[in-house]
Amino acid sequence: MSGQLGHSGAARVGIGGPVGSGKTRLLEQIIPRFIQRGTNIAVITNDLVTHEDAIRVRRSGLIAPERVLAVETGACPHSAIREDPTLNIQAADLLEERFGPLDLILIESGGDNLASSFSLDLVDFWLFVIDVAGGDDIPRKRGLGVMQCDLLVINKTDLAPYVGVDLARMEQEARQVRNGRAMLMTNCATGNGVDQIVDLIAREVLFED
């Protein structure tokens, strides 16, 4: 007797990080890659008082607009992905009901700072995106997101020379505070490094090799 039945629901993956770090751009890079792999996906975006990110993803033409739901948190965005993720759980359930069986639901949470994190009741795996232009001291600040996420993404690597950031040192310090946990460098404007993120998600929660 083994615990093997049918489809158990879509994998749910969180994408968090500070405002302007490139979360939505990362989404726009990830979506076509998963679609090309044949992954059946849907997306949830979280915004404070608008549907800005959802509208942007719907208009991108990368995914059927009805597969993108917006959660308007109204106040502290941390609460909607951590303390009380009910709104996001309901949105994910709704997407599974409408488009299931889905393989993957990507849940982006905008407007968060370094202290945000995802409840594992909501997601199975979560990324935290920071960017070079935000300052090379971000890893040293040991924010909850940087420390606890399953994958730390350092984005906008191309901007390092323009903002006086020592990229090698930033990477080294990030690896140090992460203590061996996963970390990747990206330039989401060009897609550099995004394939590795997709491969890691596919391996860890879609169980592809």
Annotated binding site for GTP: 17-24
- Count, residues in the chain: 209
Residues 144 and 135 sit within 8 Å (Cβ to Cβ): no
Residues 175 and 183 sit within 8 Å (Cβ to Cβ): yes
Q: Does 137 bind other proteins (CB under 8 A)?
A: no
Q: How far is the CB of 177 from other proteins (least distance, A)?
A: 9
Site size toward other proteins, by CB under 8 A: 32
Residue indicated by tokens 């897609």 = 191
Residues 139 and 174 sit within 8 Å (Cβ to Cβ): yes
Identity of the residue, 59 or 98, whose beta carbon is nearer to other proteins in the bound complex: 98
**Residue 145 CA to its chain's centroid (Å):** 12
Of 53, 124, 131, 171, the one binding other proteins by CB under 8 A: 124
> Which residues, numbered 41-70, are part of the site for other proteins (CB under 8 A)?
none
Binding site for other proteins (CB under 8 A): 1-9, 11-12, 78, 82-83, 89, 93, 115, 117, 119-121, 124-125, 142, 144, 147-148, 179, 203-205, 207
